[in-house]
Amino acid sequence: MINIRIGRRTALAGGVAALASPAVVRAQADPIKLATLTPLTGAGGSYGPSMAKAAAAVIEEVNKAGGVLGRRVVLVSEDDQTSPEAGVRAARKLIDVDKVAAIMGTWASSVTTAVAPLCWGSKTFLCTVSGADSITLLPHQGYLIRTQPNSTLQVTRVGQFILSLGAKKAFTMIPQTPFTQTTIDLLNGVLPKGGATHQSLIYDDKKNTYRTEVDQALRTSPDVILANGYTPDSVVLLKDLYRAGFKGKIVGFAYSINQKLVDQIGQNEVVEGVYTFAPSPSEGSGAWDRVKAATGLANPDPYTCQVYDHTNMVLMSMAIAKDATGTAIKDNIRKVTQGGGKAVDNAVDGLKAIAAGEKVDYSGASGPCDFDDRGDILDCKFRYEQIKAGKFTLVKIA
């Protein structure tokens, strides 16, 4: 459990640096409380600390500039442990004890699915980076947006990328998750249209070897395998594919096949040539540069960029509403991002414009933040990389 109280010198375990101390805002009203609920441990543990750190940096800047609605903002950060059970316990604490207006940054789709009913039931706004299509189909009553492209958009694009690699026989190896069946169904549609066959296998992500499953996959003579698990099981799967002598192409999602995985495997030949795929942040933008400065990361991951955007959007939504509640955020967040007006890429500039009676149009570190009625991001670019000599090299952004 980690509490970040902006305005006191505290530190977030796992990488969030000490925050600036009191001088920031001396608001007379009670502080506005927001939260991050990110995976500081578990399968997503390599992402959660920097996600929380980005949110803390935004709030620190806003407090230094005078806060929101004349009130200081306090950030409470919790660890969901990449576990639905832990996520629910943390969310209950954030909602019932801390009484936050918004929870930002839920990562695993299983965690978001478990936490979302608590949020809409309490009228707490939820911003997520989870991708499963099922999430925005929940009866969330508008108390949810996600900046991560949904499964339909992501899987369609990765299917097109697999075809661009010249695939004729593709095979997907995937654990049971909220997006498993959607992934299989989408690829069963996308790949045959491009002239490739597609077969799939659902595996138990708790096993310490997948050699039986690998042998089953290789009997179909695939030329491309989509390794669609999380980091822990993908480490085992890639090792077993290497030991089995698979010579075709491997594609995986960058949230699992990342530098942590490469370092953990420790054998470049196991991961040599593997392709990865992820939503692309808005590289080179002012917001992107702010995330880099706040986190110390040379190439911030998409989730960290998205949580930076969550925090900016939530703060400006409350300013427009003149109310610091989850309902106020729900009713105004699209006015911040797609209502036309002055282009802004950070909350400090946005809050000044709002105070001057101007409309704002926020575009952030993850790109334009335009949402449909269900809360899904409308579009984004994707980044494709390939591992060469243990390093990720850019193939294309499209």
Maximum pairwise Cα distance, the chain: 69
Q: What is residue 259's three-state secondary structure?
A: helix
Q: Pick the closest to residue 243 from 279, 277, 205, 211 (CA basis).
A: 211
Tokens standing for residue 293: 């400065």
Q: Pick the closest to residue 253 from 94, 48, 107 (CA basis).
A: 107
Q: Region 365-373: what's the mean pLDDT? A: 95
pLDDT at 280: 93
pLDDT at 151: 86
133 compared with 244, residue with greater pLDDT: 244
Question: How high is the mean pLDDT of the chain?
Answer: 92
pLDDT at 179: 85
**Alpha-carbon distance 221 to 219, whole Å?**
5
Count of beta carbons in the 10 Å neighbourhood of residue 357: 6
**Alpha-carbon distance 161 to 395, whole Å?**
11
Tens digits of residue pLDDT in 286-311: 999 999 999 999 999 999 999 999 99
Pair 382, 280: CB distance under 8 Å: yes
pTM assigned to the model? 0.80
**Alpha-carbon distance 94 to 76, whole Å?**
8
What H or E segment, with its residue span, contains residue 240?
helix 231-243
Backbone angles phi, psi at 105, to 5 degrees: 100, 5
Q: What are residue 386's DSSP bridge partners? A: 275, 393
**Alpha-carbon distance 294 to 291, whole Å?**
5
Count of beta carbons in the 10 Å neighbourhood of residue 29: 11
Q: What are residue 394's DSSP bridge partners? A: 385
Tens digits of residue pLDDT in 156-203: 999 999 999 999 999 999 999 888 999 999 999 999 999 999 999 999
Tens digits of residue pLDDT in 7-26: 332 333 333 333 333 444 44
**Alpha-carbon distance 52 to 43, whole Å?**
16
Pair 314, 75: CB distance under 8 Å: no
Confidence of residue 340 (pLDDT cuts 50, 70, 90): confident
Domains of the chain: 2-149+282-368 (3.40.50.2300), 151-280+381-397 (3.40.50.2300)
User: How does strand 169-175 pair with strand 144-146?
Assistant: unpaired
pLDDT at 104: 98
Tens digits of residue pLDDT in 236-275: 999 999 999 999 999 999 999 999 999 999 999 999 999 9
